[in-house]
Amino acid sequence: MTSQDAGGRSGTRIAARADAELLIALAEELNQDVNLTQVIATALKRGVELLGGVDGALFLLERDPRILRGAQELWPKGRAGAVLELERLPTTATALEAETPRFCTRAEAVGDEAAWMDAIGVCASLVVPMLVERDCAGFVFVNYSDPLRCPSADELRLARYLGGQCGLAIARAQVYDAERVARARAEVLEREAQLATARVSRLQDFTAALSSATTMKEVARVLFEQGLEQLGAKGLGIVWMMRPGELQLVFGRGVSEPEFRFLDAAARAGKRLPIRDALLGRRSVWLESADEIRAQYPALEPLRARRGESGCAVVPLVVGAHCPGVIAFTFAQGRRLSSAERNFVETLAQLSAQAFHRARLFEAEQEARREAERIGRLQEQLVAVVGHDLRTPLSAIRLGAGLLLENGGLSAHQAATVTRICHSAERMSAIVRDLLDVSRARQGLGISVRCEPADLGEIARRALLEFSDAEHDGRLSLIVTGDAILECDEARLVRVISNLVGNALKHGAGAPVLVAIDAGEAEVRLRVHNDGPPIPAAELAHLFEPFTRGDEHRANDAQGGGIGLGLFIVREVVLAHGGTVGVQSQEGQGTTFTVALPRRRTVRAP
């Protein structure tokens, strides 16, 4: 062995020891960091230094193993972030297939690899696959400017070891990065789940509170206090279309009536406002800053500036195919609602729209009921006053007419006139009695009756004498079956039969009228039947109510004075006797009123 050989081997050992130290340092440096970007930068920088290059780049394989994407370059040569196709890189593809580094000079390079070398001004390139077992994470490209540079076998082994170390570090960093992303996503999902759970709980509480709200103001208060206020809303206005074309501020929290009138006047003047857009477009309007308000709705800016608010939202209240109102709320500071918060607000609006509609119907019903009660009280007062005040003048008329007839000395024409006066006075007296009976019944006192044993058949005959004129000749028939004796007020029952028969004659379209009395053991039944047109179904439910008269088939008889009291008097007299009254009316079967009276009067509990 020559001294020259010994020196060469010694130099080789020293170089190998230095490379080993560099590799150990590289491994330690790569293991110190799990950040993917930092690991890539370290792997490229130390790899180029170890392999003696002047430039380099690191490319990672995409999920599609035919695609490379530039991850890092040592000096800016314009290749970072580049996307390369493996099939256009022959040397790179060979290195991947052989699972070992490949060296390529400019003279040997073809395709895109030759073009890249020309573009970056290098004479050769060493392609180092970063392998983890048999999987490739990507490639380190180490570039050389010396045209005579050719890596030794030791350098190729070093490059292969370097590729393995870099591949392990990158794979570990990728796993850590994926875990970090997954943890962050899991935390986001957990927070979203917690928020969603909280929102569901709030919606449940909100729905429960809405179910007990009966007025529009109560619904609005629930909406603000249990919904929008928790989102940081400063002011709230609920606008509802009470009548077509007329909007009304049904609830304002921090919003005054003059401010609403200012907006309403601006809208009527044709100025663009979010309330108008939300109503007509049935879409929510989100204005999350003062700049957005100024840019989109300049007519709103004076009011916004005066109130000192920086954001607002207007959400439509949709009921079926209609949009009768909106929710408008404001924020003191600019507020950017997330998509989940917007969905939550719109869900509140959907629930509130139904509640507002229900409350509006309830309030309208209450208002109509109060009005009906007011009218009812006026009617009762009128009935009582008219009934009492008419009795005295009617008595004077009847007495005077009667005396004229008794004294005689009247011509035939005069006698006929006085007789008509007597009949009219009797007629008016009957109406007054009915009015007084109605007044007593409406006050809960009921119609008074004086009961004594009487024959219902004889009572019916007396009642039918009233209709014995030529106009009704042949249309009336009476059938009495059994003993019809019962305790009753004869005068009142004459009135009942007279009303029912008069009703049948008037609405029977000329058909015969049958009055039938059937005596049972405990009760006596009276039926009045005609084969005329049926009573409309819509009138049957209110047939026995006072002051009700049908359009075509008036449910109350002429004997009640034409003011809708005949059947009401029938019902009240029958009830005063402890009996019942009903009606059946069908096409082809005619109409039958049935009265059932106990033989012995029973007093019903009020």
What is the domain partition of the chain in residue ranges? 19-179, 212-444, 452-598
Gap between the Cα atoms of 266 and 277, Å rounded: 13
Could you give the strand order of the β-sheet that contains 523-530, starting from the edge strand earlier in sequence? Answer: 476-481, 513-519, 523-530, 590-598, 580-586
Residue 117 to residue 123: CA distance in whole angstroms: 7
pLDDT, residue 125, reads 93
Q: Which two tokens stand for residue 4?
A: 């020259």
Most confident of 233-237, 344-348, 514-518: 514-518
Q: Under a CB-based contact definition with an 8 Å cutoff, are residues 430 and 387 in contact?
A: no
Give the pairing of strands 285-287 and 311-319: antiparallel
On whether the 452-598 domain is CATH 3.30.565.10, my answer is yes
The percent of residues in the chain predicted with pLDDT above 90, rounded, is: 17
Mean pLDDT of 215-237: 83
Model pLDDT for residues 416-428, shown as the tens digit of each residue: 887 888 777 776 7
Q: Which stretch of 92-101, 231-240, 431-440 has the lowest confidence by average pLDDT?
A: 431-440
Please provide the DSSP assignment of 512-527 as one string.
-EEEEEEE-SSEEEEE
Q: What is the pLDDT of residues 173-196, one digit of tens each?
A: 888 888 888 888 888 878 777 777
Reduced 3-state DSSP string for 448-511: CCCCEEEEHHHHHHHHHHHHCCHHHCCCEEEEEECCCEEEECHHHHHHHHHHHHHHHHHHCCCC
Residue 127's pLDDT is 94
pLDDT grade for 582, boundaries at 50, 70 and 90: very high
Q: How confident is the model at residue 380 (pLDDT cuts 50, 70, 90)?
A: low
Strands (E), 365-458: 452-455
Output the average pLDDT for the chain. Answer: 81
136: Cβ contacts below 8 Å, ≥ 6 apart: 61, 65, 96, 99, 129, 130, 167
| 19-179 and 212-444 have identical folds | yes
**Which class for 362: exposed (0-12), middle (13-18), buried (19 or more C-beta within 10 A)?**
middle
Band (pLDDT 50/70/90 cuts) for residue 147 is: confident
Q: Which fold has domain 19-179?
A: Beta-Lactamase (3.30.450)
pLDDT for position 128:
94
**Does the pLDDT at position 247 exceed 80?**
no
Tokens read off for 268: 């009527």
The pLDDT score that the predictor gives to residue 383 is 64
Region of poorest pLDDT, from 301-305, 456-460, 484-488, 505-509: 505-509
> How many DSSP H helices and E strands does the chain contain?
16, 18
- What mean pLDDT comes out for the span 222-245? 78
If one looks up domain 212-444 in CATH, what number appears? 3.30.450.40
Q: How confident is the model at residue 2 (pLDDT cuts 50, 70, 90)?
A: very low
Reported confidence tier of residue 443, pLDDT bands at 50, 70, 90: low
Residue 462 has pLDDT above 80, yes or no: yes
Alpha-carbon Rg for the chain, nearest whole angstrom, is 52
- pLDDT at res. 598: 93
The pLDDT value given to residue 485: 92
Give the list of residues 6+ apart from residue 386 with CB closer than 8 angstroms, or none. Answer: 432, 435
Distance CA 282, CA 358 (A): 20
Quick: pLDDT tens for 270-286.
888 888 888 888 899 99
The tokens of 577 are what? 């006797």
What average pLDDT score do residues 592-597 get?
Answer: 94
pLDDT digits (tens, 9 = 90+) for 468-521: 765 666 788 899 999 989 999 888 898 899 889 988 888 877 788 999 999 888
How many Cβ atoms sit within 10 Å of the Cβ of residue 76?
A: 7
